[in-house]
Amino acid sequence: MLQETLLLIKPNATKKNKIGEILRMIEANGFVIEKLKMFRMDKDLADEFYQEHLGKNFYEELSGFMRSGKIVGVVLSREEAIVKLRELVGHTDYTKANLGTIRSLYGDSMTENAVHASDSEVSAKREISLIFPQS
């Protein structure tokens, strides 16, 4: 089934100039880039985007990191986009990610793991509407 999903290239990867390499991996794995933009996340957007983590002990670190630099937001499409992208990005803990996945290649820590990928159709719709509100 053709789906759309959201990928965020996080500040640690953008600071290290890995945007092109990550997008090349994405396209080489059959994804079509439907929308793309570079932006900075403010506190309000971070709070809304990561609402399920508000109040957790790691939230302030996550929010601060996501507000620390440029982010690339990308809407991607392909068959089974959500599952296929999650496979390509790898485990949240980059040290546990399969070799060759985006996080194994570009992750620096549990928080600074290079990318975010939507985990479900509901999340993808909500996250896309937050990052691309005119959609």
Calculate the dihedral angle through the C-alpha atoms of 18, 97, 37, 45, rounding to the nearest 10 degrees.
-130
Which of 89, 116, 127, 128 does the annotation list as catalytic? 116
Task: Judge contact between 14 and 71, C-beta under 8 A.
Answer: yes
Whether the CB-CB separation of 89 and 13 falls below 8 Å is answered with no
Rounded Cα distance between 17 and 82, Å, is 25
Q: Please indicate whether residue 53 is annotated as part of the active site.
A: no
Residues labelled as active-site residues: 116
